[in-house]
Amino acid sequence: KISPSRRVPVLHDGDIVVHDSLAIAEHLAERFPEKQLWPKDARDRALARSLACEMHAGFARIQWTLVGSAAVVIGALIGAPQL
C-alpha cells in the first residue's frame, strides 16, 4: 500500500495511515510511550525535534540539487545545449 500523497514512507497502524517520517515518529512515540522514542527530558526532546525538523526540511533542497545536477550531466552526455 502507498500513502495518500503517493509518497513514502507510510505506516499502516490498523485503520490509521500515517505518512511522512516525522509524523510516523510522533505517532509511534505516542503509541508506545514506554519505548521512549524521544528523549525524556523536555529540553533534550525539543532539541531532538528541532534537529529532526531541520534535517527533514533540507531533504527537498538536496533532492532538487541532485535532480538539477543529474539533468546537467545527462544533457552534456547527450549533447543538449547548455542554458
Residue 1: per-residue pLDDT? 64
Please list, in sequence order, all residues whose beta carbon lies within 8 angstroms of the beta carbon of residue 20, skipping any fewer than 6 positions away: 7, 9
Report phi then psi at 12, rounded to 5: -105, 115
Q: How far is CA 23 from CA 19, 20, 28, 44, in A?
A: 6, 5, 9, 19
* pTM listed for this prediction: 0.60
- Confidence grade of residue 66 (pLDDT, cut at 50, 70, 90): low
Residue type, 17: V
70 pLDDT more than 90: no
Residue 53: per-residue pLDDT? 82
What does the pLDDT look like over 9-52, one tens digit per residue? 888 899 998 888 888 889 999 999 999 988 999 999 999 888 88
